[in-house]
Structure 1
Amino acid sequence: MRNDSATPVDTATTGVTIPPPSYPVQVDGKLDQPLSRWLWLVKWLLLVPHYVVLIPLWLGFVVATAIAFFGILITGRYPPALFAYTVGVLRWSWRVHYYGYAGLGTDRYPPFTLADVPDYPARLRIAYPEHLSRGLVLVKWWLLALPHYLIVALFAGGGLWFGASDNDAGFDWAAGGLVGVLVVLAGLILLFSGRYPRELHEFVVGLDRWVLRVAAYGALMTDRYPPFRIDLGATESTAPVGDTPPPVRPVWTPGRTVAMVAGALFALVAIGPLTAGAGVLWLNTTQRDASGYVATSTVDLHTQGHAITEEAVAIRDDLDWLSGAVGDVRLVVTASDPATPVFVGVGPEPDVRRYLDGVARAEVGQADSNELVTVDVPGGPPPTPPGDQEFWLASSEGAGTRNLDWRLHDGVWTVVAMNADGSSPVSVDVRAAARLPALPWIGGGLLALSGLMLAAGAALLAGSIRRASSD
């Protein structure tokens, strides 16, 4: 039973006058009395199971909202089954937060369900819109709602409560905001006095109500712009006490909910191989030079010593497939001074180590961040010019740009760049390149994997939504 007249509803218990509920998002947070003095200190631990379940449910919420966006854009309607799901996730989250640190208004443990629980102190009801604006859906969730987002950030502490959090559990939307400060104050009062001040409770619920209205508007669930006001009071319902609506069979059963979340997970994870596959194919078709090599960017290397060496590369016998995948490898080396002849070669790591033993050089490696790190090794000049050595697997010597071409083999190899006469200092520009014949196969495989994951996700989403829609 609802009172839709214009007559204000007077709450005799508080003296607070509340207008009849006209906004389509109605938020109730009734204060349970008495409350435990100390239970609120450990509710963060008691709510861990809810956080574990809510994380994938919110993943499905994001996908459902994205699907609804296109549904509204095309048809002007929010798909009813998806609406029931997104309302259910918001409702579940509101119960959890009201029990926890956005309210502390009840000690009744929140039920694990998307459905409405009429006798639970925290309730959320959102009227289903028969029609939504196709134009507003393009701008309301980011542009029109921006002023509200700034206010909600003040209330919730750093962002919307359904957004990312700065902790692993997520959903700690009250931390650091005005709501969090007031709830902690209420907890301290409760701890020492055994009572929750009603006026403070109704103000906290008013702030929560503002946040939830903005959440529903930003999630495309209504075109009614949220009012810039704090509506005090524990409840927006005008139904008489004891007037409980008849139970409604939930359209989102556990099996359908799991299928919805699994489909959303498949769809979101598929973005990874889809992006990677497209990037690989783009690299294969646009970044090859005239010789068919895909090259890295150029790196400037300098040393006051007599040689520059790359950290040893180990190729095991069981990595023979790597040679076919990478193909021919090319190292392009150019002296900073075009008139200086340079030498570049690759040889077995033990032979190179013996040749450069006691030689001043710079050893180039990679840190954990994949940034180049150069370590200077003190010493003197080499005993002979590098070109006189016979252990090189491949080498190139002369002025100008030198190309060192070789194919990967099992073993441990070291690349060396020097002046052709072994003098110092050494200053060269270096870039690596490879033919990478496997790129089309890798890109195609990633796209095929993405297609399979998208198909599986779409099947799960469509099946769960169709079964929910049938009810």
Structure 2
Amino acid sequence: MAQPMWSHPQPMGPFEWLPALDVPEPARQRRWTVLLRWLLLIPQFVVVVVLGICAFFVMVAGWFCALFTGALPGPIARFLAGYLGYETRVHAAAMLLVDHYPPFAMWPGAAYPVHVEVRPGPLNRLAVFFRLILLIPAAIVQSLVMSGWYALAVIIWIITLVLGRLPRPLFEATAAALRYSMRFTAYVFMLTSAYPKRLFGDEPEKEFGAQGTAPGTAPETAPGTAPGGEPGAVPEGAWPGAAPRTPQDAAHGAVPGTAAASSATRPLVMSTAGQVLVAVFLVVGLASTVISNAESDWNDDSAGPAETTVVTVS
């Protein structure tokens, strides 16, 4: 039977799914939460460290499984995806992208505004075997962009504290840095075969459908997630005093696996100012790395060789 003339052609090969990050549009933030943000997140940082140690050993086990079977076992993929989401939500709060406190849960459901979507699938065994070598270029980029952001963190914090919100170009650049870091971690964890890319944003007219989803694919719900709460309920994990959910929010949350209508990062369309700031993060990260290495070498040279005292006994 012939296909209708308006039907979309189906892709000939497997679609390369890049892990997706959903962050809501930049909104006003309470200055007291901005002022105390990292202090309030100390318990979350502790949990991330503990879960990260567990994730390392789970990843090693998954590497051996993927090397022989060509895919991550379900329980391993689920744990690593849960940790990836947890870590990303904590970083989103720490980097002032949202004014919501991250919940102490690996699968918080649709109520929390920051979401990560991964689709673990078949893996190339050769790429799995050489994973450590393949990720070196992406690791350099990820290290530079994140170290550049944290080198400028005090300036970004002061701007947000004074204005009560993250300016749009800063939001775009920060979201781009966080998304790239998340995609890098997902590649390390073998949750995707797609190499980290698109640090400078997306081109929706070429690569995304109306909802920011790849043509011919349907959104999927990460294991353990659930639809959003009822209208009037405070979102799970919100800072004290957060605005209640509206009927529109509940309607959006009632569709499992779909990106929220207010998502500013699927697709992440960046302005020129946002792209310039990403480049600034990279340059500052490179400069801070060079300065740090130079200081380390200078300290080693200043210390000099250890003096040796020779005692002659006659």
Query: Normalized against structure 1, the TM-score is what?
Result: 0.41
Aligned amino acid, residue 44 of structure 1: W
Matched, 1:243 2:213: no
Matched, 1:149 2:158: no
Mapping of residues 302-321 of structure 1, within 5 Å: 303-305=311-313
- Cα 1:303–1:55 shift into 2, 3 Å: same
Aligned mates of 1:27, 1:182 — CA distance in 2: 23
What percentage of residue pairs aligned between the two structures are identical? 27
Shift of 1:228: 4.7
Mapping of residues 176-325 of structure 1, within 5 Å: 177=148, 179-181=149-151, 183-231=153-201, 242-244=251-253, 303-305=311-313
Mapping of residues 449-468 of structure 1, within 5 Å: none
Structure with more contact order per residue of length (Cα contacts < 8 Å, sep ≥ 6) = 2
Give the structure 2 partner of residue 114 of structure 1. Answer: 106
Aligned mates of 1:124, 1:116 — CA distance in 2: 11
Are the equivalent residues in 2 in contact too, given 1:99–1:107 (CA < 8 A)? yes
Matched, 1:52 2:22: no
Aligned amino acid, residue 136 of structure 1: A
Aligned mates of 1:191, 1:40 — CA distance in 2: 6
Pick from 19, 39, 42 the counterpart of residue 36 of structure 2.
42
Aligned mates of 1:200, 1:303 — CA distance in 2: 64
Are the equivalent residues in 1 in contact too, given 2:176–2:200 (CA < 8 A)? yes
Choose between structure 1 and 2: higher strand proportion.
Answer: 1
Count of equivalent residues: 212
Are the equivalent residues in 1 in contact too, given 2:26–2:171 (CA < 8 A)? no
Are the equivalent residues in 2 in contact too, given 1:24–1:222 (CA < 8 A)? yes
- Cα 1:226–1:245 shift into 2, 3 Å: farther
Q: Which whole-Å deviations, capped at 9, do the CAs of 1:121-146 have from their partners, x for residues lacking one?
A: 221111121x211111011x321221
Shift of 1:214: 1.3
Between structure 1 and structure 2, the one with the greater Rg is: 1
Find the residue that maps to 2:187 and give its secondary structure: helix
Are the equivalent residues in 1 in contact too, given 2:26–2:165 (CA < 8 A)? no
Find the residue that maps to 2:200 and give its secondary structure: coil
Q: Which whole-Å deviations, capped at 9, do the CAs of 1:289-326 have from their partners, x for residues lacking one?
A: xxxxxxxxxxxx97444xxxxxxxxxxxxxxxxxxxxx
Aligned mates of 1:56, 1:40 — CA distance in 2: 25
Shift of 1:211: 1.4
- Cα 1:181–1:88 shift into 2, 3 Å: same
Query: Normalized against structure 2, the TM-score is what?
Result: 0.60
Aligned mates of 2:137, 2:254 — CA distance in 1: 36
Root-mean-square deviation (CA), in Å?
A: 3.1
Give the structure 1 partner of residue 24 of structure 2. Answer: 30
Aligned amino acid, residue 134 of structure 2: L
Shift of 1:190: 2.3
Give the structure 2 partner of residue 126 of structure 1. Answer: 118
Aligned mates of 1:302, 1:204 — CA distance in 2: 58
Aligned amino acid, residue 133 of structure 1: N
Shift of 1:95: 0.7
Pick from 54, 60, 66 the counterpart of residue 72 of structure 1.
66
Shift of 1:187: 2.5
Aligned mates of 2:165, 2:198 — CA distance in 1: 30
- Cα 1:74–1:43 shift into 2, 3 Å: same
Segments of structure 1 that go 5 or more residues without pairing to the other structure are 7-20, 158-176, 249-300, 306-424, 426-471
Aligned mates of 1:150, 1:302 — CA distance in 2: 47
Aligned mates of 2:253, 2:182 — CA distance in 1: 23
Matched, 1:88 2:82: yes
Give the structure 1 partner of residue 292 of structure 2. Answer: none
Aligned mates of 1:215, 1:122 — CA distance in 2: 17
- Cα 1:92–1:237 shift into 2, 3 Å: farther
Find the residue that maps to 1:115 and give its secondary structure: coil
Choose between structure 1 and 2: higher helix proportion.
Answer: 2
